[in-house]
Amino acid sequence: MKPAYRLLSLPRFILALVVAFSSQVALAAVGVTALPAPDGNGPVTVFYPTLEPAQNVTRGGAVLQLAPDAAPAPGNGRLVVISHGSGGHPWGHADLAQALVADGFIVAAPEHHRDNHRDWSDAGPKSWKRRPAEVSMAIDAVARDVRFATILSLDKVGVYGMSAGGHTALSLAGGQWSPARIRRHCEAHINEDFHACVGLTTQLRGNAFDGVRKAFALWVIGLMANDENHYAHEDGRVAAVVAGVPYAADFDMSTLAAPRVPLALVVARQDRWLVSRFHAERVLAACASCELLADLHNAGHGALLSPFPPRVSGLLADLLRDPPDFDRSVLPEVDRRISAFFRMHLVKPPGALAGTP
């Protein structure tokens, strides 16, 4: 019998870094504030260490321990940006954000334009072309805020993304993708990767897929994904990337064979929305240097949403909810592994002198 999950061993020196730095912020609470984004984009939610007391606040339908608009406290001086999935919001990754803050990071989570819980009319390639630039704009928004600019060094920024956010993360790691690759993937594999393909033709509301014929879906995909151009986005500030259950079938895997920055993945083997062998596993097969931080054998697509969104129903709930034998108690350890990966690649070792590389 396969184990329910496999968390790969981290080198001892990484774990030592975690222990050495955690004492700096162990007593800090998690502050939260919202920064306006330019050009009509959604707000950037920022999580950060603070010495002010936390309180119960309701965000995204969940009760969280946060200190709204509290004064920031110094942490480890590094920023991590979280890119949510299609139709998502920052609160679906609040547990990861809190784990990162506990390790001293400041975390910025942009709301992706027309691909969020209020409006996901551009979910798919239209949004994917914009999302990496929206991550860059989130970094800029934090840099403009004097509360954070004075306690951050933005020459090394981490990016974490899940699902469509994982697609964003792969783009920022150096991957190049093409809408036409989506069409060819779906023409070849719509039976095996049905929801990844048909999800491009509707926004997963209620039981929107009921009665949709595959031939019609392929016709719509052909209209949407006839662009042979390859898209990429580079931000030299991004220095480490983690992609969780990413949409990846449309990437030219040769561009991810040697990512421009350290790249790690989290895989859910029971993912019905993005069947892993066509997405995350393809990246791992192409990329010898990539790290597999967690191999969740019994996890579905929504496993990395933590806390899990309380108000989902219909087909969306079917595709996101956990399989019966998945144990969510493993998720804090997954969050710790993600934070340790960013600490290794973004934070100077304990005792390093200022100005040393």
15 and 162 share a domain? Answer: yes
- In sequence order, the β-bridge partners of residue 6 are 295
Q: Could you say which residues of the chain have pLDDT below 50?
A: 1-4, 9-25, 203-211, 350-357
pLDDT at 155: 97
- Order of strands across the sheet with 263-268? 6-7, 291-296, 263-268, 238-244, 157-162, 79-83, 106-110, 44-50, 29-35, 62-68, 55-59
Do residues 260 and 225 both lie within one domain?
A: no
Q: How far apart are CA 223 and CA 159, in angstroms?
A: 32
pLDDT of residue 27: 56
Residues 303 and 224 in one domain: no
Is the Cβ–Cβ distance between 170 and 160 less than 8 Å? Answer: no
Same domain (yes/no): 340, 210: no
Are 273 and 322 within one domain?
yes
- Show Cβ contacts of residue 97 under 8 Å, excluding neighbours closer than 6 positions: 30, 47, 82, 90, 107, 109
- Residue 352 is assigned to a structural domain of this protein: no
Q: Under a CB-based contact definition with an 8 Å cutoff, are residues 100 and 47 in contact?
A: yes
Q: Are residues 73 and 211 in the same domain?
A: no
- pLDDT of 207: 41
Between CA 257 and CA 143 the distance in angstroms is 32
* Long-range contacts of the stretch 276-282 (C-beta < 8 A, 24+): 276/245, 278/185, 278/189, 278/192, 278/193, 278/196, 278/248, 278/249, 279/196, 279/245, 279/246, 279/247, 279/248, 279/249, 280/166, 280/243, 280/245, 280/246, 280/248, 282/248, 282/249, 282/251, 282/253
Residue 304 maps to which CATH number?
A: 3.40.50.1820
Place of tokens 């991590």: 80
User: By residue range, what is the domain housing residue 189?
Assistant: 181-229
**What global pTM score does this model have?**
0.88
| Crossing angle between the packed helical segments 331-346 and 12-25, to the nearest 10 degrees | 90
Q: In this structure, are 157 and 280 located in the same domain?
A: yes
Note whether 64 and 186 are same-domain residues: no
User: Where among 196, 229, 262 does a domain terminate?
Assistant: 229
In SS3 terms, 194-247 reads as HHHHHCCCCCCCCCCCCCCCHHHHHHHHHHHCCCCCCECCCCCCEEEEEEECCC
- Before 307, cis peptide (omega within 30)? yes
The pLDDT of residue 355 is 34
Indicate whether 357 belongs to any domain: no
pLDDT of residue 311: 74
The predicted structure's pLDDT at residue 118? 84
Nearest to 118 by CA among 39, 35, 205: 205
**Dihedrals phi, psi of 322, to nearest 5 degrees:** -75, 140
pLDDT at 203: 47
Task: Report if residue 355 sits inside a domain.
Answer: no
Distances (CA, A) of 96 to 8, 149, 161, 217, 297: 18, 22, 11, 35, 20
Q: What angle do CA 28, 30, 31 make, to 5 degrees?
A: 115
Give yes or no: residues 76 and 217 share one domain.
no
- Shared-domain flag, residues 147 and 261: yes
Nearest of 69, 220, 80 to residue 142 by alpha carbon: 80
Residue at 44 is within a domain: yes
| Same-domain pairing of 61 and 153 | yes
Residue 1 lies in a domain: no
**What percent of the chain is helix, strand and coil (3-state, nearest 5)?**
35, 20, 45
Q: Is residue 162 located within the same domain as residue 219?
A: no
**Distance separating alpha carbons of residues 335 and 325, to the nearest angstrom:** 20
| C-beta neighbour count of 206 within 10 angstroms | 12
Tell me, yes or no, whether 327 lies in a domain. Answer: yes
Residue 63: inside a domain? yes
DSSP state of 349: P
Domain edge (last residue) among 160, 195, 229? 229
Q: Please indicate, yes or no, if residue 287 is contained in any of the structural domains.
A: yes
Per-residue pLDDT tens over the stretch 301-325: 999 999 988 777 777 888 999 999 9
Cα 291 versus chain centre, distance: 16
Helix (H, G, I), strand (E, B) or coil at 117: coil
Domain count across the chain: 2
